[in-house]
């Protein structure tokens, strides 16, 4: 096959000078443009490809622009954060910054939160494939479960060849987001049947049993081993590679006769580049995520290295071509990885075995990718860049819905700000401002500040019926010691200095642990309500998230202040949460509306020491008794029966 030589003797990767950094061409979104939800015009109808339709008064000596045949490749390292890339480069090349992806000309950061808070692969991949933020578990659907055209379908509608390559099963969440539309990522048979109805020209991965059944009778070159793949010759037929019953084996396990990700990428490019119209290809390094869930450093670094080898194949090929756009990114970070060592990975530490809300890298090649350079952008921008490359148009800035991502600025201006330097250490624990808004979906609260991973707690105390005087600080004494957060809350003694104040709900997090759909029952974080037993808290669902730059001591091996730490009262972003009306008021918000009183506080893990970081701030800096929270000021929020704000929230008194 034409590209096999690249694996044996890869040319040098393009340096930062290999693609000039041009000013990105970015357009604002066109509110009337619904093209992404409808079938696109054929490529033959596009003005880009129809120079013969130029206006009749064009100068007779002007040459029509050459036809554009975009070649667009997206690499997704599933679960791959910045530390994964760095440590993978150390593992493979002996130092940071030496991997193929790290030498690409355009480099930035991507935020990954979904409608559910911390994202899963399905929601993240769907956003990159469609530009729509969605609910965890949804594939090819927006948050209202409406089908949305993906970038592969758009490319195919314009006459492009398309391909999907993965080390996961082909029905796995990330590849499926580019081929299917379902409201549950677990529907493997339905996903496979949809793939069979609209099969890319090249699909290579695992999941042989379900895919073989779905593709029975399909006219294609079927490959089952590395030997098959290396012997393949282009004949114009589609290619289906099924290299395992489930996921492909870990690289570190040394599987026999299983192709590498680089070899699969080579075949995909070799096949797709025969199409003169152009092509779109997505390549996923899936097992980075799997090894990270298992906190398995011995397996995760070889997976990053194998992913980077595939990127090297594409970059070497791109250096010989025109009209190539390559993006490399991740759907999310997994595990909260940190490491020590500069020439070899000496130690590996993990925060936990779940996804995190940490930023992930994005690397770009080709003019449309210039918009990511030096920027921190939501992952919907990945689709914006891909769409611009596929349609040979300007990059359009995507709309960003209100989601729980830790970026609190979209909740409005602060209602109250901190007066005092933190007694828990500047740069490690601060509670700087509270922002509040309300929508038909629920009450949104943002606490700007700095939060220490694995240490100390933040509590948001909520009085749902301000004026009645029931709950914590009024007529209720708690005695719930089952569970870490419950015990911490119950240890705190609340003294309400305002008439009619008593807290019915507490949203808390110990050690900056997020609350999202998959971990509603975590012991260290969540929303508790006095709904069943008036002396004990019960779980009710909520979503919370911490912004990456507002977490301190994120790397357990090295420590350190938060990246975005500022002087007390000036930090923006931090702890964001949504309290859903459907759970706060199961029978609906009362027809007369509701009045809330809010207080936020930073405390130690067991609730025995309350810091001076209280919002609204206290009148004097040290007016805190050990283990006792004296509340003499609150943020008051009033909503009508629809959940809309009656007036701007205020501080009382």
Q: Which residues are catalytic?
A: 121
CA dist., res. 285 & res. 124, Å (int): 15
Contacts of 231 (CB under 8 A, 6+ apart): none
Where do the DSSP E strands lie in 287-371?
Answer: 324-329, 333-334, 338-340, 347-349, 355-356, 360-365
SS3 labels along 418-455: CCCCCCCCCCCCEEEEEEEEEECCEEEEEEEEEEECCC
Q: Which residue has the tokens 């893990």?
A: 605
- Please state at what angle helix 297-318 crosses helix 82-93, rounded to 10 degrees: 80
CA dist., res. 339 & res. 337, Å (int): 7
Q: Which DSSP letter does residue 618 get? A: P
Report which secondary-structure segment, H or E, holds 107.
strand 106-111
Q: Residue 336 — left, alpha, or beta (φ > 0 → left; ψ -120 to 50 → alpha)?
A: left
CA dist., res. 425 & res. 420, Å (int): 12
279-285 and 71-77: which strand pairing? parallel
Q: Which residue has the tokens 């994202």?
A: 119
Rg over CA atoms, the chain: 27
Backbone angles phi, psi at 537, to 5 degrees: -85, 145
CA–CA distances in Å: residue 349 to residues 83, 90, 246, 336, 346: 11, 16, 28, 8, 10
Q: Residue 217 — left, alpha, or beta (φ > 0 → left; ψ -120 to 50 → alpha)?
A: left
CA dist., res. 162 & res. 328, Å (int): 17
Order of strands across the sheet that contains 71-77: 221-223, 239-242, 202-206, 161-169, 279-285, 71-77, 324-329, 360-365, 106-111, 376-378
CA dist., res. 67 & res. 394, Å (int): 17
Tokens coding 41 = 């015009």
CA dist., res. 304 & res. 308, Å (int): 6
CA dist., res. 630 & res. 333, Å (int): 39
CA 155 from chain centre, in angstroms, equals 24
Q: Which of 43, 90, 91, 89 is nearest to 68 (CA)?
A: 43
**Residue 440 burial (C-beta neighbours within 10 Å; 0-12, 13-18, 19+):** exposed
Q: Which of 170, 324, 304, 194 is nearest to 248 (CA)?
A: 170
């Amino acid at each position: 096959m034409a590209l096999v030589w690249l694996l044996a003797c890869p040319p040098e990767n393009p340096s930062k000078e290999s693609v000039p950094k041009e000013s990105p061409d970015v357009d604002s979104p066109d509110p009337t443009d619904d093209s992404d939800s409808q079938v696109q015009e054929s490529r033959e109808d596009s003005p880009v490809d129809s120079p013969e339709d130029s206006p009749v008064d064009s100068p007779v000596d002007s040459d029509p622009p050459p036809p554009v045949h975009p070649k667009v490749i997206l690499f997704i390292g599933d679960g791959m954060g910045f530390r994964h890339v760095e440590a993978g480069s150390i593992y493979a090349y002996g130092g940071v910054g030496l991997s193929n992806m790290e030498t690409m000309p355009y480099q930035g950061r991507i935020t990954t939160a979904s409608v559910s808070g911390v994202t899963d692969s399905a929601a993240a991949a769907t956003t990159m494939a469609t530009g729509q933020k969605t609910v965890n578990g949804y594939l090819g659907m927006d948050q209202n479960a409406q089908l949305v055209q993906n970038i592969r379908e758009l490319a195919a509608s314009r006459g492009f060849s398309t391909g999907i390559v993965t080390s996961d099963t082909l029905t796995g969440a990330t590849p499926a987001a580019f081929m299917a539309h379902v409201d549950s990522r677990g529907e493997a048979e339905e996903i496979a049947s949809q793939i069979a109805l609209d099969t890319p020209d090249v699909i290579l991965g695992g999941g042989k049993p379900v895919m073989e059944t779905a593709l029975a009778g399909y006219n294609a070159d079927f490959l089952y081993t590395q030997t098959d793949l290396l012997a393949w010759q282009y004949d114009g037929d589609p290619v289906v590679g099924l290299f395992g019953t489930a996921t492909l084996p870990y690289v570190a396990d040394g599987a026999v006769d299983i192709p590498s990700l680089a070899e699969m990428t080579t075949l995909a490019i070799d096949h797709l580049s025969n199409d003169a119209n152009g092509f779109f290809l997505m390549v996923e390094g899936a097992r980075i995520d799997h090894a990270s869930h298992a906190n398995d450093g011995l397996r995760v670094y070889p997976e990053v290295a194998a992913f980077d080898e595939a990127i090297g194949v594409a970059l070497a090929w791109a250096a010989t071509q025109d009209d190539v756009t390559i993006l490399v990114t991740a759907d999310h970070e997994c595990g909260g990885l940190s490491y020590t060592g500069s020439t070899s990975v000496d130690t590996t530490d993990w925060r936990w075995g779940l996804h995190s809300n940490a930023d992930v890298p994005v690397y770009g090649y080709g003019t449309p990718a210039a918009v990511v350079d030096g920027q921190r952008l939501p992952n919907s921008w990945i689709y914006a860049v891909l769409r611009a490359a596929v349609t040979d148009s300007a990059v359009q800035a995507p709309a960003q819905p209100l989601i729980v991502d830790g970026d609190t600025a979209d909740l409005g201006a602060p209602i109250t700000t901190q007066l005092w330097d933190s007694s828990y250490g500047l740069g490690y624990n601060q509670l700087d401002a509270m922002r509040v808004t309300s929508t038909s979906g629920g009450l949104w609260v943002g606490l700007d500040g700095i939060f220490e991973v694995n240490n100390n707690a933040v509590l948001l105390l909520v009085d749902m019926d301000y004026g009645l005087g029931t709950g914590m600080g009024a007529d209720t004494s708690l005695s719930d010691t089952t569970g870490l957060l419950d015990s911490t809350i119950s240890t705190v003694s609340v003294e309400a200095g305002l008439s009619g104040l008593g807290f019915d709900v507490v949203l808390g997090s110990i050690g900056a642990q997020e609350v999202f759909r998959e971990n509603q029952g975590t012991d260290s974080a969540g929303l508790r309500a006095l709904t069943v037993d008036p002396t004990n808290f019960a779980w009710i669902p909520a979503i919370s998230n911490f912004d990456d730059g507002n977490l301190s001591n994120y790397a357990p091996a090295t420590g350190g202040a938060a990246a975005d730490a500022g002087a007390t009262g000036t930090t923006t972003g931090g702890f964001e949460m949504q309290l859903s009306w459907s759970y706060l008021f199961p029978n609906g918000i009362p027809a007369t509306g509701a009045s809330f009183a809010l207080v936020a506080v930073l405390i130690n893990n067991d609730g025995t020491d309350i810091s001076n970081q209280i919002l609204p701030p206290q009148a004097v800096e040290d007016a805190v008794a050990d283990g006792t929270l004296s509340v003499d000021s609150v943020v008051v929020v009033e909503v009508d029966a629809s959940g809309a704000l009656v007036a701007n929230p205020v501080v009382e008194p």
